[in-house]
Amino acid sequence: MKKRWTAFFLAFLLGLGLTACGKTPGPDTNTDAPPSAADSSEDTRQQTSTPFSADYWTAVRHESYDAMNDCMKTSAMPTEAWWADLYLNEDGTAQFRDVLGSYYNTSLLDGNWWLGADSTLRLTGTMNTGEPLTLDGRIESTDSLAIETPYGDTFYFAPAERPGPGGEMGIADLYGTWRMTHYEEDGREYRPGEEHIASMLCFDRLWSDLLEGYVMRADWYHAAGLDTDTPQYRSEKHLLAEQIEEPLMPGLSNETWSVRLTDEETGAAFFAALTNRNSLLVRMPYEKNGGEGVRTVTYMRSSGFLPPTLENAMTGEPEKSLIFFWRDPPAEVTEPLSVIPMNALEPNGQNKLLLVGRWYETDIQFSVGTPVLNDDGTQQSWISEKVVYEGKIKINEPLFFSLTIPEDTARSSWKTGSCPTSATVIGMAAYPITSPPAMSFWSWLRPENLCAPAPCRPSALRWQSPA
């Protein structure tokens, strides 16, 4: 594994070594604007009579301005780590991809293209992030064209053999969150809700010290027995995602490639394939009557790990709040997060508390103890008697906790210093990992706050930056 990645990195360095400063080759760029999409009555005819025959192109050269040396820098393409390609389909649709390693530098997906006067070229569409994008270029000859990016650099393309079905997608399209919608086993289809299970896959770019760059990794979450008091949870973290040039299985729309997800410690792996940019098939082994079986699981792209209801509730929070919390959140919040196990602060706790990391990766601690009050009834400090939970919460990471706070615990009784003996008094401490101990911020989870309407908004659970 290390040898393969080392070779990958050396090839990347080789590609970068092929750069030099010099005069930009090629004719001067014509600045006449091509027609807009609104002027499309002649577009189809123009496109079918284009001054080139290819519908697929790969980048052979990249140019950018080097401000430090006041010259143009030229890089040969492709390299092992960096490539770009361009689809100009006969029906007027287009796609542009600039890929470094396993992620997009720039992309224009689900786009359209037009030819203007003097062989000018325009592409419009959306990036993989959903934001609109327009690219301008020019036809230099029957076998050469150029595309300028919004960053002021230019890619030069040459015709190439068009990839097979599925080749218009790649490992960079995996980035984001995927939720299981159904699975097939022994020729029968199952729905996760009916089977009381849930599963999620989350792909992200993580730094590799070996490559001194980013690689694609996946976190897999699975929950079963959600209709019982003792659900079973499984997870696999930081699985290495590698694109392999073979299909997942016969009969798929993606005939070109698939992805291997590997646990680098155990060597265990399972395989996946995109059937389109919003649908992912995963082949997963499982035990069956003392032997092994394989189930095919379908995941669909999700807008994010956190459900929209929760995202909306967090919108009005302070930008630099370390923790967001919600007592007994509704089903539209909890059900999409059912793959997250409950941390039981108390046996048979009746209430559910959701915490979400916000600004810093944060140390959190729950403890049973006693408050020390000021003369006016406000809390001065906290005397911890027993730590019942201690851990970290990452940015945008949700954590569920279970505890019991009697609903009849009145706000007024706490302020007078008389807390009912039946109440479990739990304090919570939190501080940003990046802050030294002298700059730590401590607040406490008090009964009156837990009894407040959800989502809770008392200042007692706001951790702000030193500023």
Q: Is the pLDDT of residue 452 over 50?
A: no
Q: Out of 302, 326, 341, pick the residue that ends a domain.
A: 302
Phi, psi of 65 (to 5 degrees): -85, 130
Residue 219 lies in a domain: yes
Q: Out of 159, 189, 221, pick the residue that ends a domain.
A: 159
**Pair 315, 423 in one domain:** yes
- Residue 431 confidence (pLDDT): 58
Percent of the chain, pLDDT > 90?
A: 47
φ/ψ region of 338 (left if φ > 0, alpha if ψ in -120 to 50, else beta) reads alpha
**Pair 329, 248 in one domain:** no
Q: Is the pLDDT of residue 299 over 90?
A: yes
Q: Out of 280, 302, 324, pick the residue that ends a domain.
A: 302
Residue 123 lies in a domain: yes
**Pair 392, 246 in one domain:** no
Residue 193 lies in a domain: yes
- Residue 211 confidence (pLDDT): 65
- Residue 8 confidence (pLDDT): 39
Look at 383 and 135; give whichever has higher pLDDT. Answer: 135
- Residue 432 confidence (pLDDT): 62
Min mean pLDDT across 41-55, 77-91, 212-226 is at 41-55
DSSP strand E in 289-425: where?
Answer: 291-302, 323-327, 342-344, 351-357, 362-373, 379-393, 398-403
Residue 297, token pair as written in the block: 């699981």
Q: How confident is the model at residue 450 (pLDDT cuts 50, 70, 90)?
A: very low
The whole domain housing 137 covers 2-159
Q: Is the pLDDT of residue 37 over 50?
A: no
**Pair 155, 7 in one domain:** yes
Q: For strands 342-344 and 398-403, give the pairing.
A: parallel
The arithmetic mean of pLDDT across residues 307-320, rounded, is 85
Min mean pLDDT across 13-22, 146-155, 196-205, 405-414 is at 405-414
Residue 164 lies in a domain: no
Residue 467 lies in a domain: no
Nearest to 137 by CA among 30, 27, 23, 25: 30
**Pair 36, 120 in one domain:** yes
Q: Are 360 and 322 in contact (CB under 8 A)?
A: yes
The arithmetic mean of pLDDT across residues 260-285, rounded, is 94
- Residue 134 confidence (pLDDT): 96
**Pair 64, 153 in one domain:** yes
Q: Is the pLDDT of residue 341 over 60?
A: yes
- Residue 197 confidence (pLDDT): 96
Min mean pLDDT across 129-143, 228-242, 261-275, 451-465 is at 451-465
pLDDT tens digits for range 87-124 = 999 999 999 999 998 899 999 999 999 999 888 999 99
**Pair 293, 366 in one domain:** no
pLDDT tens digits for range 346-382 = 777 878 889 998 888 888 888 777 777 788 877 677 7
- Residue 90 confidence (pLDDT): 92
- Residue 347 confidence (pLDDT): 76
- Residue 384 confidence (pLDDT): 77
Q: For strands 120-126 and 19-22, give the pairing.
A: unpaired
**Pair 313, 451 in one domain:** yes
pLDDT tens digits for range 52-98 = 778 999 999 999 988 888 888 999 999 988 999 999 999 999 999 99
* Chain mean pLDDT for the chain: 78
How many structural domains comprise the chain? 3
Residue 397 lies in a domain: yes
Round to whole Å and give the CA distance between 410 and 70: 70
In CATH, what number is assigned to the domain containing residue 103? 2.40.128
The arithmetic mean of pLDDT across residues 275-280, rounded, is 96
Full-model pTM: 0.78
Look at 271 and 328; give whichever has higher pLDDT. Answer: 271
**Pair 365, 452 in one domain:** yes
**Pair 11, 81 in one domain:** yes
- Residue 54 confidence (pLDDT): 87
**Pair 265, 280 in one domain:** yes
- Residue 449 confidence (pLDDT): 40
**Pair 39, 104 in one domain:** yes
CB neighbour class for 49 (10 Å; exposed up to 12, middle 13-18, buried from 19): exposed
